[in-house]
Amino acid sequence: MSLPYFDSTAVRAAAPWTTAIAALEHALLNGVDPEDDSPRLFSPAPNGEFLLMPASGQRYSGIKALTVAPANPVRALEKIQGVYILFDSDTLAPLATMDGNELTAIRTPATTLLAVKHILASAPDGAPRSHESTERKRVLVFGTGVQALNHLRAAHAVLPEASFAVVGRRPERVTALIGQLATEGIEVRPGSLAEVPDADVVICATSSRTPLFDGGLVAPGAVVAAVGQHGLDAREVDAGLVLRSDVVVEGRASALREAGDLIPARSAEEWEAIRPANLLDLVKGEFERSPGKPCLYAGVGMAWEDLATAAVVYEGGT
């Protein structure tokens, strides 16, 4: 058997930001329910663990197989590595393989900006609704890794008139990220914690285990996306922000399993009773913001997103 392999360059070429975002939106409006998504599976591996993410669809199914090797960075190797396998849902025959890291690097920011786009378009009672905004937004991104880099790229694609700033712990990495984006025609400047109160959109794309800023600083009406990692011990935002915000999640079940930003603020039982809006509710227009509140989007990464993006790559490259 000879299967086509889509390397990182091919994956990125087949799924530019607007295409990836449109594919995720199309999937949600055409039968995908995040609450039906398969849970992430973990298994021990030498010097780390395996992470498996299966997803089923009418036309295609697939599985992302990743390895997590915590000691790799000191060896100048990627901590997370993997491959995606796409199958024909009718015959269950494999159709293609592709770079799992690049797929993740695309689908995560695409999902975040899909959510941000719709949240910005959701107005409180009495306010006008519009999916098109000419207002110049101020976007503040925390993080300097691959996800921060790609969230800035995706944000620029969705909000091309916005201003962008990045906050990182290591100045040299901030400088390198800004330099990389400058070569792509995206203007980004160094940011700081002091800019949180003025930001319209705050994107947290870090590996932090403690809150990045005081949630009380976030302006009413601002959108915060906490998407840097998964796990109930992960903390990018504090409980204060959660409690004062409207909350949107990728999926309610996945959030209960892995959204560490949410569970400390309220118990799982409280979240089950509240039933926060998920991405399906959001794209269907069934979410409305509360006047005077920030909105928090909490994302942990889901397998249906990989499948929707992998289908775009396969169909665009064959």
pLDDT of residue 264: 86
pLDDT of residue 1: 67
Would you give the distance in Å from CA 134 to the centre of its chain?
24
pLDDT tens digit sequence for 6-20: 999 999 999 999 999
pLDDT above 70 as % of the chain: 95
pLDDT of residue 131: 43
Output DSSP code: residue 70.
T
Which of 218, 207, 219 has the alpha carbon at shortest distance from 260?
A: 207
Rounded to an integer, the average pLDDT of 167-196 is: 97
In this prediction, residue 318 has a pLDDT band, given cuts at 50, 70 and 90, of low
Query: What are 73's two structure tokens?
Result: 């960075």
Angle between helices 146-158 and 171-182 (to 10 degrees): 40
Please say whether the dihedral angle defined by the alpha carbons of residues 121, 127, 128 and 133, taken in this order, is positive or negative: negative
Rounded to an integer, the average pLDDT of 161-170 is: 96
pLDDT of residue 125: 53
* pLDDT of 165 strictly over 80: yes
pLDDT of residue 133: 47
* pLDDT of 151 strictly over 70: yes
Count helices and strands in the chain by DSSP H and E runs:
10, 14
Q: Give the DSSP H/E element, type plus range, for residue 310.
A: helix 303-317
φ and ψ at 315, to 5 degrees? -70, -30
pLDDT of residue 123: 67
Rounded to an integer, the average pLDDT of 200-213 is: 95
Query: Measured between alpha carbons, how far is 143 from 147 in angstroms, rounded to an integer?
Result: 8
Rounded to an integer, the average pLDDT of 262-266 is: 92
Q: Which residue has the higher pLDDT, 116 or 318?
A: 116
Range scoring the smallest mean pLDDT among 69-83, 169-183, 205-219, 272-286: 69-83
pLDDT of residue 129: 45
pLDDT of residue 302: 97
Query: What are 164's two structure tokens?
Result: 């962008």
